[in-house]
Structure 1
Amino acid sequence: MRWVHSVRIGQRSVSDTGSALLAESVAPHALPERLLAREDVRAALLRHDFGVFFALARKWSGISFMRIADACDMKPERVGKLARGEGRVTSVEKMEQIADGLRIPGGLMRLAPRPWEGRETRRASVAAQVEPIQSVPSSEVAPDLPAVRSFRAAGRQLGGGHLYASVLHYLHHKMAPRVFGGETGLDSARTFQAAAALTEMAGWMAHDTGHNWRAGDHFAKALSLAKAGDDHVLSANIMASMSHLALQMGHPDKAVSLARAGRDHVAGGSRIPTLNARLHAMEARALAQLGDGDGARRSLAVAQKEIDKMPDTQPSPWISSFGSPALASETALSLQDAGCLPVAVEAAEEAIVLRSGDRARSRVFSQITLALIRTRQGEPEAACEVGRALLGECATLGSLRITQQLDVLSDALARYRVEPTVRDFLDRLAATKRQRALILAGLGAPPVHGGSDI
């Protein structure tokens, strides 16, 4: 999907035209191509670790922190602190500023292609090394797709808590005027679809920050918007999200009903393997919690068949992908609830291996699942080995759900605390939880404007 324009979040100090001129004016600060081709540099950019990136830029290209600060409109002290590992950049707007100031192709940072990229081709060989974005005619692209994709990519890497307020801001200030405005025909349908996708995303971010009642409200509104946009695929996808939330809130019966309603919603239409797989996986999770292990395994088998025939292209730009890594993760959880622990271990290990670097949050959830299963098997040392690997990865993720799962892991391992390995790990876990508490303290739910998303 070709990006139409870069995402704008919050209030900029200059106009779009001014931003373009600024991007042109800092071109002399462009980084050398050889630097952006380095494996360690690309890895730092991909995980949005700008402190490591700035340090590497100074080490390998000789660019000073003063020049970086000047190019990115940042204070030199801020650049220096980031390079020393103090703090993180979580604003998508600031990430775009860094990309424009240092002429970093958006694809290297999981952002939309920058406005100047079409005029500069000397980094094409580097940009081609990251996952390409499929091109379609500009007339077929909705203007909000760049925002949806940027928020989605950043959320996977940083956790929803860091982005919840920004998504709500976009809905209120970018979407609402058009939803309630005078758009007609195709433009109107796409506006409703974009609003539905972003409102569903807000639901997941609310869930990630522990506000499940808000998540349910977002999902319900997203479903209404998807129906207004006459998008059956998006509606069914939202029902899958509602099924997940029902399960998390202790209502497996409702979760089963929602998953099946989602399948009924797209029955008779175009076959969407990725969506059918997700809905069957949600049904399996709920059935396992209801004690129907055989039913859960049948649903998982159907989901696997759907994944096996999944096309290379995403059927809808508005729904998140659901592939083998996601199915492996859901399988591990279902089999754990069904008491099939050895097979659950295999699924959890597969999920971890398949999670790429841009899926930090999902990878951590799979690691916690594996550690819990190992604990239930009476293998605390193996659980701690997995746990040590995940602690470094989860320290700054903005997700209360991760903290809650770490609490579950801590409680499960408490009975083995007499063992030195377990005691050492639990002490490290406690330190990580204290660090996460400081981060999450600033991620309280943003105020609701008039009780509505848009």
Structure 2
Amino acid sequence: MRRDASSRVENTALDAVLRESGLSHARLARRVNQLGAQQGIPLRYDKASVTRWIQGKRPRGRAPEFMAGALSEALRRTVTPAEIGLGGENTRPVTARALSYCEDVDDALRTLAELGSTDVSRRSLLGGVPFVAGALADPQRQWLLWLSEAEDGQPARLAAASDGGAAEPLHYMIQTFDSMDNRFGGAHVRSAIVHYLSNQAMPMVQQRGRREAEHRELFTAAAKLAAMAGWSSYDAGEYGMAQRYMTLGLRLCGEGGDRVLGGQIWAGISHLQTSLGYPSDGVYSARVGLATAKDSGSPLGLMRLHAMAARGYAARRDQQKAHAHLRFAEESLARSRGPAQESPWVGYLDHHYLEAETAQVFRDLGDGKRAEQMAAESVRHNAQRGRRQAIGRSVLATAHLQQGQLDAALESAHTALERLGSGNIHSERSVQALRAFRAELEPFRREEAVREFVRQARPVLGAA
């Protein structure tokens, strides 16, 4: 800090980080206002406000948190209020602390409990939490360090809870939430998962004096619930919260020692990163997952991770590597002896799952014919999975369009729209898949059938 002519202490820390970010004063102010609005806090800052902050005027209320969030987005790493001269580490909000891979597992438990309770009680204040791509670099490093130091004899996976075990209620609820998520979408079940995680699972895990095996099983089940909170947040379009729950789930998973589940959490992170426009990060997370699960005895888990790597490479238009990982996924699937011989965390994975993911890989590579084949098979065999049906229909529509089959494309898209418009499926991922198809219709915008579809889709998809 230094003093200007009016003897106010200038905030040189903020000035330095702002210069590093490349944001103008006007852009920073605009993004702070947007983050505030997303959380129900009206703000009216402008470029002159930023100048005053650099000159030493301290912003009021939660503005320092929003400033740190905006700079984190721009720099793709975590920026704290302390780093920009606006608070110490002990004042960091839980949404900032939840991005860290806590060395002390008790810190992770406290952070997860606080994040969940805040999430449940103050939803309007958490809806605008940003996804910070660069913040995953430290959890990746910490996880790989844990992996390298793990004991050779540490169990690669844990079986489902036995009858009467301490974790039995957690496993029962995991199955219940999973069934609802698959059928109706993550937004439908998200609040219930977070509430159960915060009010039931956390107190159980924090109890002391348990046997080692019971301790590991409880932490693993809690890690799965945290990952499910992340996945359902992702499906609800709350990407920043998804990132935080998944990061905390990783730390609990490390305590439980379950490498199959660890690999699956990295698969979820990879999916999130690729879908948000960071495919190179998505590929890297998939590779971290593969390193985690390679000796776990779970071919199905490896299948999903290879599929996620293929998705990332396809988004980068790297056809050779995308095809290679699809081949590895098929080989892993062929090695599996079925769900009964696998970890409970991957029992839902099968060749129909791989068909769905393969369809999206071929779609992103522009191979409409093969995308159509895979998407049609996925749609045919997933009648009871509402979200997968809706996404599959949208992918199928795009595949038809890539082949110049406009009528067939619109027919499939209308079916997806009907499912989403029914109100039974609450899944932002499904909506985004259909929005992606709508964007591909731009060259055909003068066609009457296209104009009619866009008009009918507006209540579900919003304005184009």
* TM-score scaled by length of structure 1: 0.62
Separation in structure 2 between the aligned mates of residue 295 and residue 336 of structure 1, nearest angstrom: 15
Q: Determine which structure has greater relative contact order: mean sequence separation of CA pairs < 8 Å that are 6+ residues apart, divided by chain length.
A: 1
Separation in structure 2 between the aligned mates of residue 171 and residue 270 of structure 1, nearest angstrom: 27
Q: Which residue of 2 aligns with 1:287?
A: 313
Question: Cα–Cα, structure 1 residues 143 and 156, in superposed 2: closer, same or farther, change >3 Å?
Answer: same
Q: Which residue of 1 aligns with 2:357?
A: 330
Q: Which residue of 2 aligns with 1:162?
A: 188
The secondary structure found in structure 2 opposite 1:227 is helix
Q: Is the 8 A contact 2:333 2:350 kept in 1?
A: yes
Q: Is the 8 A contact 2:264 2:289 kept in 1?
A: yes
Displacement of 1:370: 1.0
What amino acid maps onto 1:426 in structure 2?
V
Separation in structure 2 between the aligned mates of residue 399 and residue 192 of structure 1, nearest angstrom: 28
What amino acid maps onto 1:362 in structure 2?
R
Question: Cα–Cα, structure 1 residues 331 and 374, in superposed 2: closer, same or farther, change >3 Å?
Answer: same
Separation in structure 1 between the aligned mates of residue 362 and residue 442 of structure 2, nearest angstrom: 23
Q: Which residue of 2 aligns with 1:398?
A: 426
Displacement of 1:424: 3.0
Q: Which residue of 2 aligns with 1:308?
A: 334
Deviations 1:299-327 (A, max 9, x none): 10111122223223342223462211211
Please say which of residues 252-261 and 191-200 is displaced more in the overlay.
252-261
Displacement of 1:433: 4.0
Separation in structure 2 between the aligned mates of residue 316 and residue 340 of structure 1, nearest angstrom: 34
Q: Is the 8 A contact 1:197 1:319 kept in 2?
A: no
Q: Which residue of 2 aligns with 1:260?
A: 287
Separation in structure 2 between the aligned mates of residue 360 and residue 337 of structure 1, nearest angstrom: 22
Separation in structure 2 between the aligned mates of residue 135 and residue 265 of structure 1, nearest angstrom: 20
Q: Is the 8 A contact 1:145 1:317 kept in 2?
A: no
Find the partner of 2:458 among 417, 421, 430.
430
Separation in structure 2 between the aligned mates of residue 348 and residue 318 of structure 1, nearest angstrom: 24
Find the partner of 1:229 among 256, 261, 266.
256
Q: Is the 8 A contact 2:309 2:322 kept in 1?
A: yes
Separation in structure 2 between the aligned mates of residue 230 and residue 422 of structure 1, nearest angstrom: 52
* Total equivalences in the alignment: 300
Q: Is the 8 A contact 2:310 2:325 kept in 1?
A: yes
Q: Which residue of 1 aligns with 2:382?
A: 355
Q: Is the 8 A contact 2:236 2:428 kept in 1?
A: yes
Q: Which residue of 2 aligns with 1:80?
A: none
Question: Cα–Cα, structure 1 residues 291 and 135, in superposed 2: closer, same or farther, change >3 Å?
Answer: closer
Separation in structure 2 between the aligned mates of residue 184 and residue 432 of structure 1, nearest angstrom: 51
Separation in structure 1 between the aligned mates of residue 312 and residue 431 of structure 2, nearest angstrom: 23
Q: Which residue of 1 aligns with 2:163?
A: 138
Find the partner of 2:271 among 240, 244, 257.
244
Q: Is the 8 A contact 1:194 1:318 kept in 2?
A: no
Q: Which residue of 2 aligns with 1:194?
A: 221
Question: Cα–Cα, structure 1 residues 363 and 238, in superposed 2: closer, same or farther, change >3 Å?
Answer: same
Deviations 1:181-219 (A, max 9, x none): 213322211111111111111111111111111111111
Separation in structure 1 between the aligned mates of residue 277 and residue 254 of structure 2, nearest angstrom: 27
Q: Which residue of 2 aligns with 1:274?
A: 300
**Post-superposition, which runs of at least 4 consecutive aligned residues in structure 1 deviate over 6 A?**
none
Separation in structure 1 between the aligned mates of residue 274 and residue 194 of structure 2, nearest angstrom: 25
For structure 2, the 5+ residue unaligned runs are: 1-158
Separation in structure 2 between the aligned mates of residue 353 and residue 135 of structure 1, nearest angstrom: 31
Deviations 1:331-380 (A, max 9, x none): 111112222221111111111112131x1101110111111222233221
Displacement of 1:139: 5.2
Q: Which residue of 1 aligns with 2:235?
A: 208
Separation in structure 2 between the aligned mates of residue 387 and residue 244 of structure 1, nearest angstrom: 23
Separation in structure 1 between the aligned mates of residue 160 and residue 218 of structure 2, nearest angstrom: 20
Separation in structure 2 between the aligned mates of residue 213 and residue 351 of structure 1, nearest angstrom: 30
The secondary structure found in structure 1 opposite 2:349 is coil
The secondary structure found in structure 1 opposite 2:359 is helix
Pairwise CA RMSD: 2.2
Deviations 1:119-142 (A, max 9, x none): xxxxxxxxxxxxxxx999625773
Separation in structure 2 between the aligned mates of residue 194 and residue 137 of structure 1, nearest angstrom: 13
Displacement of 1:286: 1.0
* TM-score scaled by length of structure 2: 0.61
Q: Is the 8 A contact 2:310 2:326 kept in 1?
A: yes
Separation in structure 2 between the aligned mates of residue 415 and residue 292 of structure 1, nearest angstrom: 25
Q: How does 1:337-348 map to 2 (within 5 A)?
A: 337-348=364-375
Q: How does 1:38-53 map to 2 (within 5 A)?
A: none
Q: Which residue of 1 aligns with 2:179?
A: 153
Q: Is the 8 A contact 1:142 1:190 kept in 2?
A: no
Separation in structure 2 between the aligned mates of residue 301 and residue 215 of structure 1, nearest angstrom: 29
Find the partner of 2:204 among 166, 178, 198.
178
Separation in structure 2 between the aligned mates of residue 390 and residue 405 of structure 1, nearest angstrom: 10
For structure 1, the 5+ residue unaligned runs are: 1-133, 437-454
Q: Is the 8 A contact 1:368 1:409 kept in 2?
A: yes
Q: Is the 8 A contact 1:287 1:295 kept in 2?
A: yes
Please say which of residues 312-321 and 280-289 is displaced more in the overlay.
312-321
Separation in structure 1 between the aligned mates of residue 193 and residue 292 of structure 2, nearest angstrom: 27
Separation in structure 2 between the aligned mates of residue 326 and residue 146 of structure 1, nearest angstrom: 23
Displacement of 1:431: 4.2
